[in-house]
Structure 1
Amino acid sequence: MTVPGNRFVPTDAPVTTDAPVAINTLVTSGASSANDASITHDTPAAPARSAPPPGGPDASTDVIRPHAEAAFAGELAALAAADDRPRPERWRLSPWAVATYLLGGVLPDGTVITPKYVGPRRVVEVAVTTLATDRALLLLGVPGTAKTWVSEHLAAAVSGDSTLLVQGTAGTAEEAVRYGWDYARLLAHGPSRDALVPSPVMRAMAQGMTARVEELTRIPADVQDSLITVLSEKTLPIPELGEEVQAVRGFNLIATANDRDRGVNELSSALRRRFNTVVLPLPATHEDEVDIVVRRVDQLGRSLDLPAAPSGTDEIRRVVTVFRELRDGVTADGRTRLKSPSGTLSTAEAISVVTGGLALAAHFGDGVLRAGDVAAGILGTVVRDPASDRTVWHEYLETVVRERDGWQDFYRACREVSV
């Protein structure tokens, strides 16, 4: 419904949500003047926390993948204690400390901050600086370039909560981005605050937190554009109630998007202008990519009780070499041109192949990663289109792998699963 007038008054009725949301009411010019003043937001509530796991507090150790703010709570606390630089309002850390958290370093007290992202420092600095302005951040790149990983860790370091998340899919509706309704209450009592179900974006606006939208280009274009008012006016209207939610200081939004994938919806120029775009590149060097795979596999392996990744570092190097050569269309020495398969062969896929290989080695071998443990995973990753990719893979095996010194065991293992 449309409500005339242009003044705001605070209202005190509660909103049944996981966290309080301050809502402004639009009133007519003839409304009582007692509350005729600009809205003053209350101090935002503490970020929502995950419910305790069944089995008591000790069961939290059984969580397969803790949120970043829980997994790296010690590092975040150490950074906060050592951080004496200016912090934007409602930020847990200064921009310098956020960048240090992502890139790693050693604090004056000797605390080691592990790198969460291996890549150009300037990329991280630009991303962090963007969040300190009124511009939203778009992390763009091919699949597997750690966009989601970086987004989660940025939100954890800035707001202490990475869970205000909208996961984009082809079926994502506007309610996931704006707000929805509790239909039982809506039918019983009509539109009301009690019936309103705020989205993660609405909650982030009201609390001065960082919201995340993953796979923005998977979301239908008309739903994407519902973010335009949020990002430009920092306001989310609720016309059914004649009210609105205004963002408080500290609010910002991080979106991720693929620029090379199937089933994506291009961003409108109006929406793209609301973002500062940061492109996350593929690892620049072979050693950088090996380092990323070793670190991430080690983290995943500990949660799954798998052997330590360093026991198979040689195989990890070979997996990375195969992926980089097929991805780049040329051998590492630059002498032989290669056909590239249809897949992206990303670092994330290399991590998946190695993790699967470690599981094979742990449960059906002696715990040491060998060529036979990763061969099937490589085949499944490279050959996505049997009609064309199988030929590309066989040519690579016969012309490159077969002739490479010290790779005979790898060649035999790959041939065995490729038949």
Structure 2
Amino acid sequence: MTALRPHAEEFYAEELAALAADDDRSRPPGWRLSPQAVVTYLLGDGGKITPKYVGSRRLMEVAVATLATDRALLLLGVPGTAKTWVSEHLAAAISGDSTLLVQGTAGTPEEAIRYGWNYARLLAEGPSPAALVPSPVLRAMETGAIARVEELTRVPSDVQDALITILSEKTLPVPELNTEVQAQRGFNVIATANDRDRGVNELSSALRRRFNTVVLPVPATFDEELDIVTRRVAQLGRSLDLPETTTALDEIRRVVTVFRELRSGQTDDARTKLKSPTGTMSTAEAISVVTNGMALAAHFGDGVLRAGDVASGIVGSVIKDPVSDRVVWREYLETVVRERPGWADFYRAARDA
């Protein structure tokens, strides 16, 4: 059987192998690639190495350089700025394993960061190494790999602080066994967080000091965001056997335009001020809208992406609050979309949706 979404180190195995074969620069202990090669893997080389992140090279250089030190990396940004995507590819390029992951939620227990126990063996044998269940962070420490903690600010504060000793001392005490686990060279942590989530638990100053923070911004230009959406839709389309995106560029441009205008609160020409919806209108949501539209076109249309295929997805992304967002959307349709040349089909489809 074929995995629906292979891990980065599996999907891009050929690119990683090619970079490793040609990589003659020095590598930090435990790293599969040199820092320069990791950045090339992320940003592409204009040839065989495809871009995984479209944005500032300097940001990626700072992120990679951080992981080569004893400081952990915190990727911060609004939802949909590729924090998870970047963390996965950093772990894949550095350690060859992006699966050592803790998913942060309001219910994440301390065992997810430290360790737990196989209670059947614990009751039968008492505390023993065989009864201990290592967390992804503990496994990363033992193997000298990168551990990932997603949505760190959603984790309860007392659980967050379990990372302090790990990041400062590079050890994890196991008092039940009267021992400790020492991190092997190459170990580090990449955490992601956003400041737009409800129920955020702020990091303590002690924990924040142990991270270098890199803020991932929303795409700066229209062309940059269009490139990101087109590339990701093409990748997702191949895995889902959807039509090629070459026939969808006009509708992708339209989706990106709508998202950017509503997010910024003004039209692209800066002539008309707009109200912004309560949602983030992120690039990730734009990718989802186009991918869903491609599926509609493939399975219920003629395979060509049209305005009607993306209109309902855009409406669903905009209207999170059924009262205030509906007003924002209706005003945008009537004052901007209705008067825009060449957008009559989208206007009709959006009104119907």
Q: 1:306 aligns with which of 228, 242, 245?
A: 242
Give the corresponding residue for 1:143.
Answer: 79
Give the corresponding residue for 2:10.
Answer: 70
- 1-side partners of 2:6 and 2:90: how far apart? 15
Richer in helix (by share): 2
Deviation sequence 1:300-344 (CA, Å, 0-9, x none): 001111011121111000000000000000100001110000000
Q: How does 1:390-401 map to 2 (within 5 A)?
A: 390-401=326-337
Name the SS for the 1:89 alignment partner: coil
Q: How does 1:213-224 map to 2 (within 5 A)?
A: 213-224=149-160
Q: How does 1:20-31 map to 2 (within 5 A)?
A: none
- 2-side partners of 1:250 and 1:330: how far apart? 46
Name the SS for the 1:112 alignment partner: coil
Q: 1:90 aligns with which of 11, 24, 30?
A: 30
Name the SS for the 1:337 alignment partner: coil
Give the corresponding residue for 1:236.
Answer: 172
- 1-side partners of 2:204 and 2:273: how far apart? 38
- 1-side partners of 2:235 and 2:291: how far apart? 10
Deviation sequence 1:197-230 (CA, Å, 0-9, x none): 0101011111111110011111111100100000
Q: What TM-score, normalized to structure 2?
A: 0.99
Give the corresponding residue for 2:269.
Answer: 333
What residue identity is the alignment partner of 1:303? S
- 2-side partners of 1:253 and 1:395: how far apart? 45
- 1-side partners of 2:282 and 2:205: how far apart? 28
Contact 1:294 1:310 in 2 (8 A): no
Aligned residue pair count = 353
- 1-side partners of 2:68 and 2:319: how far apart? 43
1:227 aligns with 2:227: no
Q: 2:318 aligns with which of 382, 386, 391?
A: 382
1:170 aligns with 2:106: yes
Q: How does 1:308-323 map to 2 (within 5 A)?
A: 308-323=244-259
- 1-side partners of 2:59 and 2:114: how far apart? 30
Q: How far does residue 117 in structure 1 lie from its aligned partner after superposition?
A: 0.1
Q: Percent identity?
A: 78
Q: How far does residue 248 in structure 1 lie from its aligned partner after superposition?
A: 1.3
Name the SS for the 1:105 alignment partner: coil
1:271 aligns with 2:211: no
- 1-side partners of 2:294 and 2:106: how far apart? 34
Larger radius of gyration: 1
- 2-side partners of 1:227 and 1:376: how far apart? 43
- 1-side partners of 2:203 and 2:77: how far apart? 14
- 1-side partners of 2:200 and 2:291: how far apart? 28
The alignment's C-alpha RMSD in Å is 0.7
Deviation sequence 1:210-262 (CA, Å, 0-9, x none): 11001111111110010000001101001111110011111001000012121
- 2-side partners of 1:236 and 1:258: how far apart? 27
1:101 aligns with 2:41: yes
Q: 2:188 aligns with which of 249, 252, 257?
A: 252
- 1-side partners of 2:120 and 2:211: how far apart? 37
Q: 1:154 aligns with which of 90, 98, 108?
A: 90
Contact 1:235 1:244 in 2 (8 A): yes
Name the SS for the 1:409 alignment partner: helix
Name the SS for the 1:263 alignment partner: coil
Q: How far does residue 263 in structure 1 lie from its aligned partner after superposition?
A: 2.2
Deviation sequence 1:344-379 (CA, Å, 0-9, x none): 000000000000000000011000000000000000
Name the SS for the 2:177 alignment partner: coil
- 1-side partners of 2:141 and 2:18: how far apart? 28
- 2-side partners of 1:66 and 1:333: how far apart? 41
Name the SS for the 1:357 alignment partner: helix
Give the corresponding residue for 2:129.
Answer: 193
- 1-side partners of 2:71 and 2:342: how far apart? 52
Give the corresponding residue for 2:220.
Answer: 284
Name the SS for the 2:346 alignment partner: helix
Q: How far does residue 142 in structure 1 lie from its aligned partner after superposition?
A: 0.2
- 1-side partners of 2:233 and 2:335: how far apart? 30
1:134 aligns with 2:51: no
- 1-side partners of 2:48 and 2:124: how far apart? 56
- 2-side partners of 1:181 and 1:272: how far apart? 29
Give the corresponding residue for 1:205.
Answer: 141
